[in-house]
């Protein structure tokens, strides 16, 4: 295990029905971040289609691709490390022998992250391919993932009031124009309890 991310955020699995959160995350990227994540300029429409399917299998059995993205405000805080640890744990428990990471040659952050996990890097035609080997699953690694998934589910359930409050805020306009009603006040009390 590496250092945990700074307080103020949670690294957790996105559950069924949360694809919109992933889409919003990708849409917040500036042009450089989109280029680093997707290898070139992409439109909002492309991101909308991309966020609909989350699992991308590789042709060779036992191989998988890890594609990570961290918003600028969260970079250099251990989030990428935490994400890659989770990906490696999931790969290990699904008997994925090799994990591949592809990035642009100028994406030094991703290369640094891959090196932290002893990835073998190969450079070609403006791209860098990192390859990591995942160890075989053990009863302890499977149990660890189950515990983490249970925690993730509980965290997601606690996030529901916060997400609802954000949706109400956007639907009702700025606070000074928002009509105060009891439903909204109760929702804010639940959110403040978190």
Q: Which pLDDT does position 185 carry in this prediction?
A: 41
Assigned domain for 12 exists: no
pLDDT at 179 over 90: no
Q: Are 69 and 101 in contact (CB under 8 A)?
A: no
User: What pTM did the predictor assign?
Assistant: 0.72
Residue predicted with more confidence, 155 or 133: 133
Three-state DSSP class for residue 63:
strand
CATH number of residue 78's parent domain: 3.40.630.30
Residues sharing a CB contact under 8 Å with residue 145, sequence separation 6 or more, in sequence order: 89, 90, 93
Assigned domain for 102 exists: yes
Same domain, 117 and 156: no
pLDDT at 183 over 70: no
Q: Which pLDDT does position 60 carry in this prediction?
A: 79
Same domain, 80 and 159: no
Assign 3-class secondary structure to 83-146: HHHHHHHHHHHCCCCEEEEEEECCCHHHHHHHHHCCCEEEEECCEEEEEEECCCCCHHHHHHHH
pLDDT at 165 over 90: no
Q: Taking the CA atoms of 152, 157, 158 and 161 in sequence, report the sign of the dihedral they define.
A: positive
Same domain, 50 and 97: yes
Same domain, 113 and 62: yes
Domain end position, chosen among 87, 118, 136: 136
CA nearest neighbour of 44 among 25, 57, 69:
25
Look up the domain containing 29 and give its range.
19-136
In percent, the amount of the chain with pLDDT more than 90 equals 45
Assigned domain for 51 exists: yes
CA nearest neighbour of 193 among 153, 165, 152:
165
Same domain, 108 and 177: no
Q: Are 95 and 78 in contact (CB under 8 A)?
A: no
Same domain, 26 and 117: yes
Same domain, 79 and 123: yes
Q: Which pLDDT does position 181 carry in this prediction?
A: 46
Residue predicted with more confidence, 134 or 137: 137
pLDDT at 175 over 70: no
Distance in angstroms (rounded) separating the CA atoms of residues 86 and 81:
9
24-28, 133-137, 169-173: the lowest-pLDDT one:
169-173
Same domain, 96 and 178: no
The DSSP output letter for 8 is S
Same domain, 120 and 188: no
Angstrom CA distances, 146 to 4, 44, 93, stand at 19, 35, 10
In percent, the amount of the chain with pLDDT more than 70 equals 75
Same domain, 72 and 129: yes
Could you report the per-residue pLDDT of 55-110, keeping only the tens digit for each?
565 777 888 888 899 999 888 899 999 999 999 999 999 999 899 999 999 999 99
Assigned domain for 3 exists: no
Residue 65's H or E segment, with its range, is strand 63-65
Same domain, 61 and 117: yes
Distance in angstroms (rounded) separating the CA atoms of residues 6 and 11:
11
Assigned domain for 53 exists: yes
Residue predicted with more confidence, 114 or 149: 114
How many separate domains does the chain show? 2
> What average pLDDT does range 25-30 have in this prediction?
94
51-60, 152-161, 163-172, 178-187: the lowest-pLDDT one:
178-187
Assigned domain for 11 exists: no
Same domain, 54 and 121: yes
């Amino acid at each position: 295990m590496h250092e945990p991310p700074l307080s103020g955020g949670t690294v957790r699995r996105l559950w069924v029905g949360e694809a919109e959160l992933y889409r919003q995350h990708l849409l917040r990227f500036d042009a450089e971040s989109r280029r680093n994540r997707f290898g070139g300029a992409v439109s909002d429409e492309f991101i909308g289609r991309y966020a609909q399917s989350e699992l991308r299998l590789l042709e060779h059995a036992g191989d998988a691709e890890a594609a990570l993205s961290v918003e600028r405000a969260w970079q250099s805080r251990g989030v990428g490390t935490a994400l890659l640890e989770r990906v490696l744990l999931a790969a290990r428990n699904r008997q994925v022998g090799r994990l591949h990471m592809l990035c642009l040659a100028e994406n030094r952050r991703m290369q640094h992250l891959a090196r932290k996990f002893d990835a073998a890097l190969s450079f070609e035609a403006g791209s860098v391919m990192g390859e990591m080997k995942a160890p075989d699953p053990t009863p302890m690694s499977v149990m660890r993932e189950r515990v983490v998934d249970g925690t993730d589910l509980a965290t997601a359930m606690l996030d529901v009031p916060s997400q609802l409050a954000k949706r109400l805020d956007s639907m009702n306009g700025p606070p000074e124009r928002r009509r105060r009603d009891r439903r909204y006040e109760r929702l804010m009390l639940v959110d403040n309890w978190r």
